[in-house]
Amino acid sequence: MSKLRLGVNIDHVATVRNARGGNTPDPVRAAMLAEQAGADGITAHLREDRRHIADADIDALMDALKVPLNFEMAATPEMQAIALRHKPHAVCIVPEKREERTTEGGLEVAREENALAHYIAPLREAGCRVSIFIAADQRQIEAAARIGAQVIELHTGAYCDAHSDGDFAARDVELERMREMSTYAHSLGLEVHAGHGLTYDTVKPVAAFPEVMELNIGHFLIGEAIFRGLPDAMAEMRRLMDEARS
């Protein structure tokens, strides 16, 4: 099986910085540390309300990083202009609601197919790999393929929530759905990524899906880094991913 890439999401370093204002802790420093510790990519979500990552963080990440930046953004004209200015390796289109604490569901691609096809075309022409963050739902996957996305990222949140609620029957249903849909998406020529809410307890079954090429993990890793440091927190995640893959 191919090696699974680990993308480290550094948004919540910025959450802590912004809780006080000022410059520390610096998410760009965290990204550099993650890169040195073997991250295959860095993920950052510039939200419309700038609650964590700021525009200047994206400027600095684009200047400093050697590994690819996966730029998460809502499908708005403002974000499209920012992405076209920076031309990151990948853009991941996510749904965004101001009142949510985190990205709660996948993007509704099927209902917005024409608009999204027009939206992503210039991003693709600029050389960005376009990824669409969706639930493991056949309709959404087919729509993502039709609009010309190269990648889908499966939303693992429902699976992780069911696990932490102790509802193992629901967790296993979610897992099975993701397994089937990653195979299906791959059969349509889409590259499959996954992420949201993954922890040491939940990562292995998802990492074991042969079609999944990349996991994007943030909140848990940044939290764990408080206790053991980011390189060590990442090394344990990497070990579990490799174990699941072997």
Residues binding ligand PXP (CB under 6 A): 9, 11, 45, 72, 92, 94, 102-103, 133, 153, 195-198, 216-220
* Nearest-angstrom CA–CA distance, 156 and 4: 16
Q: Which candidate in 12, 52, 72, 153 is catalytic?
A: 72
Backbone angles phi, psi at 10, to 5 degrees: -105, 15
* Nearest-angstrom CA–CA distance, 140 and 138: 6
Comparing CB distances to ligand PXP, the nearer of 15 and 173 is: 15
Comparing CB distances to ligand PXP, the nearer of 156 and 246 is: 156
Min separation Cβ 147 and ligand PXP, Å: 17
Comparing CB distances to ligand PXP, the nearer of 206 and 246 is: 206
User: Which strand (E) or helix (H) includes residue 240?
Assistant: helix 230-245
Min separation Cβ 133 and ligand PXP, Å: 4
Q: Is 191 an annotated catalytic residue?
A: no
Q: Which candidate in 12, 155, 196, 224 is catalytic?
A: 196
Q: Is 86 an annotated catalytic residue?
A: no
Q: What angle do CA 171, 176, 179 make, to 5 degrees?
A: 125
| Separation of first and last alpha carbons in the chain | 7
Q: Which residues are catalytic?
A: 45, 72, 196
